[in-house]
Amino acid sequence: MAMKVSKPREFVKHLIVCGVLCFSLFPLYLMITISFKDNTQFQVNPFFPDSPTTWKFHNWVKGWGTIHNYIANSIVTSFGAVALCLTAAILTSYVLARYRFPGRSIVYYVMIGTMFLPGTPATLVTLFTLCKDLGMINKLYALSLIGAVGGQVVCVFILRQFIEEIPKELFESAQIDGAGHLQQIWNIILPMSGSVLATLAIMQFIHNWNNLLMPLILMRDDQLLTIPVGLMRLEGEYVKQWGELMAGYTIGSIPLIVLFLFTMRYFVKGISAGAVKG
């Protein structure tokens, strides 16, 4: 006999979910609402939409005209960082999970230990000097390389544990059939780790998309800036035009919203798979 769930308990659950949803979407609602106002309208009525006849569509025109080139740069650098990061992480995780060799544990724990080292702000001078010596100043590929290096340890930590859970018989059968290492990765690891890889890709993409410090330090030409730095150009030197600023923020967030809408199924599946594997 199925257990009957009380209606008050279900009501409380739905109330909590709706509350969390409203709390999460309120900043987006406020950002879109303000994007159609000028400063006077914002000061008089900051929280509710005005009449559509008074909407300032030129805010969106100004926001798009300011940051559309920056969006393209962010897409290129973020996708490049994700591709490099996951490629290196998959190869490293495959070796650490599948093969026993002298010093294997030492290599792994030293790699994991780097997670406790200071982040980019603490090593900014050293990192800038290194990029300067390598001729990577004012180069878009520098942002992809730095973003890929910064996310590899976390990806290796997660992927290694996932690959170790894959039955060894699959790899042994592939080896008997003459499959090499790359074929085993392509035909076994990638299909079985798709949801986890999608989750890691989303996390790394968002991290690189929102990176402000490195583009601000390394890029010299205006046409090479990324979206976080470009949004700073909308703030103004003395007076902030809040409508233009919020329109730019909204436009800059659209790629992330679209990405998450199309990959949400894989993200949730990857989180669930990681929980089950753990």
The CATH number of residue 119's host domain is 1.10.3720.10
Residues 154-174, mean pLDDT to the nearest whole number: 82
Residue 208 lies in a domain: yes
The whole-chain average pLDDT of the chain stands at 79
Residue 25 lies in a domain: no
Residue 14 lies in a domain: no
pLDDT number for residue 275 = 45
Residue 3 lies in a domain: no
Residue 6 lies in a domain: no
Residue 17 lies in a domain: no
pLDDT number for residue 191 = 82
Residue 59 lies in a domain: yes
Residue range(s) defining the domain that contains residue 194: 36-277
Helix (H) or strand (E) run with residue 155 in it: helix 140-164
pLDDT higher at 79 or 65? 79
This prediction has a pTM of: 0.77
Please tell me the total count of domains within the chain: 1
Given a cut of 60, is residue 2 above it in pLDDT? no
Residue 186 identity: W
